[in-house]
Amino acid sequence: MAVAVSDFCRRAKSPAPAPEVREALALLAEDDDFRVRALTDGEPETSPLGPFAVVDILQGTAPAVAAQRQSCGFYDVARELAYVREQKTPKPAPAADPAIPTFATPAPQPSGDGAAKAAKKGAKAEEPSILERIAPKKRVAVDEETTSPMDQDEGHSFLRRDLPRPRGRFTRVEAPRTPFIELTRQSGKDVLEASLEGSEHRFALLRNLSHRFNGSRGDLSLVDLETVLRDHGLMEALQEKERLQLLDAYTQQRGATGRVGWALGVSPPELNRLVSAVGLTEEVEALRERFRREALATTHLTHRLDLLGREKYLADLGIQRKFNDSLRKELERLLRDEVPTATDLHGLAEAVGRKYGSPGELVFRAIERLGLAEGLRKQLHSGGPSSTP
């Protein structure tokens, strides 16, 4: 029986040692063996289920409730309380052998204090067991018509005081912010110089300082920060740093404004303001125009097929439609020469890919994406090129 329960607990994702299994089975009578077998022979309905959860299910508890008790440690607490109670309970005296005569005097009648102690012992004997005390209790429905308002307010006679929020070891409490006037002093210049070394641009600097300093009217704003930087003579150095960061980002991201904003950690409106503040509007537009021309003028088929899959990049540059139309015309010209010798669309894409040094899968995807597949299938089915110009 213990082996069956142990195997059932293992399948229920709560393996238990043999002593724990025997301890749980000791709570059942021998007549319950067939019920144990009927439960353990099947698959567990839920998990986790330990030995005491199995006993709880056999006593009528739903499997879902037993699994919840197992997961929250209900049965471990019950075992610990039962063990403590067993240790505190004195062992019963051995029974007297009737064959041996005894000459014990009758016990005196309890008086006064003795009677009180005997009453306490009787009260302890009538206390509920551990299982009865920790078992869930059913709430009694309250009749609103028969319950007086005074009875309902008895539980609310002691109201909780409005205590301050906990300031314990793991409680996060924001540090008080320093007044804005401190940034305008000489000590504030040292703070700004130290913060500038770890900030790529003014918006990153604003985020770093807004947690430590207040503004002139509430929270620290970008206008407050720019005013303080100008007063301390640090604005030119910051603008030069921002100018280099922007040019480098636009060059690395090949003119994609969205990718530049993501790389610098700013939103599109913040990026536009940053470009305008450092006077790079014309330079940035010249960079974007250069990458537009490169994308449209490239002649390598594989490169153009790869750019076709970068829809967001083409849309960012504003040339997606123009690029698609140009590539569609080129593919129609390249496919026209291979249609007579091809049998299906995949074979046609592979033939064009081998001829022009491009992967056939990229050619096939471009055919599908540019809307050429249906017309090509009709041409292949008819066995010749289309008569339309």
Q: Are 36 and 56 in contact (CB under 8 A)?
A: no
Instruction: State the residue for tokens 């209790």.
Output: 137
**Using CA atoms, how far apart are residues 186 and 330, in angstroms rounded to an integer?**
66
Which tops the pLDDT comparison, 116 or 7? 7
DSSP annotation string for 188-251: HHHHHHHHHHT-SSHHHHHHHHHTTBEETTEE--HHHHHHHHHHTT-HHHHHHHHHHHHHHHHH
Q: Is 70 exceeded by the pLDDT of residue 112?
A: no
Q: Are 372 and 336 in contact (CB under 8 A)?
A: no
Q: Is 60 exceeded by the pLDDT of residue 125?
A: no
Give percent of the chain above pLDDT 70.
Answer: 77
Tell whether omega for the bond before 136 is within 30 degrees of 0, i.e. cis.
no
Q: Which of 374, 369, 334, 326 is nearest to 350 (CA)?
A: 334
The pLDDT, as a whole number, for residue 156 is 47
Q: Are 78 and 134 in contact (CB under 8 A)?
A: yes
> How deeply is 144 buried, as exposed, middle or buried, from its count of CB atoms within 10 A (0-12, 13-18, 19+)?
exposed
The pLDDT, as a whole number, for residue 107 is 54
Q: How far is CA 68 from the centre of its chain?
A: 23
Q: Which of 28, 27, 69, 26 is nearest to 46 (CA)?
A: 69
**Using CA atoms, how far apart are residues 14 and 44, in angstroms rounded to an integer?**
11
Mean pLDDT computed over 288-297? 90
The pLDDT, as a whole number, for residue 274 is 92
297-348 pLDDT, tens digit per residue, is 888 888 888 888 888 999 999 998 999 898 898 888 888 878 888 788 888 8
Backbone angles phi, psi at 214, to 5 degrees: -85, 165
The pLDDT, as a whole number, for residue 283 is 93
59-87 pLDDT, tens digit per residue, is 888 888 888 888 888 888 777 776 666 66
**Using CA atoms, how far apart are residues 201 and 263, in angstroms rounded to an integer?**
12
Q: Is 50 exceeded by the pLDDT of residue 132?
A: yes
The pLDDT, as a whole number, for residue 27 is 79
Q: Is 90 exceeded by the pLDDT of residue 286?
A: yes
> How deeply is 50 buried, as exposed, middle or buried, from its count of CB atoms within 10 A (0-12, 13-18, 19+)?
buried
**Using CA atoms, how far apart are residues 215 and 29, in angstroms rounded to an integer?**
76
The pLDDT, as a whole number, for residue 116 is 59
Q: Are 346 and 363 in contact (CB under 8 A)?
A: no
Highest mean pLDDT among 46-50, 123-127, 146-150: 46-50
The two counts, helices (H) then strands (E), for the chain are 22, 2
Q: Specify the pairing of strand 218-219 against strand 214-215.
A: antiparallel
The pLDDT, as a whole number, for residue 6 is 84
- Residue 155 pLDDT grade (very low, low, confident, very high; cuts 50, 70, 90): very low
Instruction: State the residue for tokens 């920790």.
Output: 134
205-238 pLDDT, tens digit per residue, is 999 888 888 888 888 999 999 999 999 999 999 9
Instruction: State the residue for tokens 């037993």.
Output: 66
Q: Is 80 exceeded by the pLDDT of residue 55?
A: yes
- Residue 239 pLDDT grade (very low, low, confident, very high; cuts 50, 70, 90): very high
**Using CA atoms, how far apart are residues 88 and 80, in angstroms rounded to an integer?**
13
51-55, 135-139, 176-180, 231-235, range with the lowest pLDDT: 135-139
Q: Are 155 and 147 in contact (CB under 8 A)?
A: no
160-185 pLDDT, tens digit per residue, is 666 666 666 656 666 688 888 888 88
Q: Are 329 and 371 in contact (CB under 8 A)?
A: no
The pLDDT, as a whole number, for residue 81 is 72
Which tops the pLDDT comparison, 29 or 128? 29
**Using CA atoms, how far apart are residues 280 and 250, in angstroms rounded to an integer?**
11
Q: How far is CA 278 from the centre of its chain?
A: 40
Eight-class DSSP state of 170: T
Residue type for 381, please?
A: H
Instruction: State the residue for tokens 């007086």.
Output: 148
User: Which structure tokens are listed for 30?
Assistant: 């021998």
Please give the radius of gyration of the chain, using alpha carbons only, rounded to the nearest integer.
42
**Using CA atoms, how far apart are residues 303 and 297, in angstroms rounded to an integer?**
11
Mean pLDDT computed over 366-382? 84
29-42 pLDDT, tens digit per residue, is 877 887 888 888 88
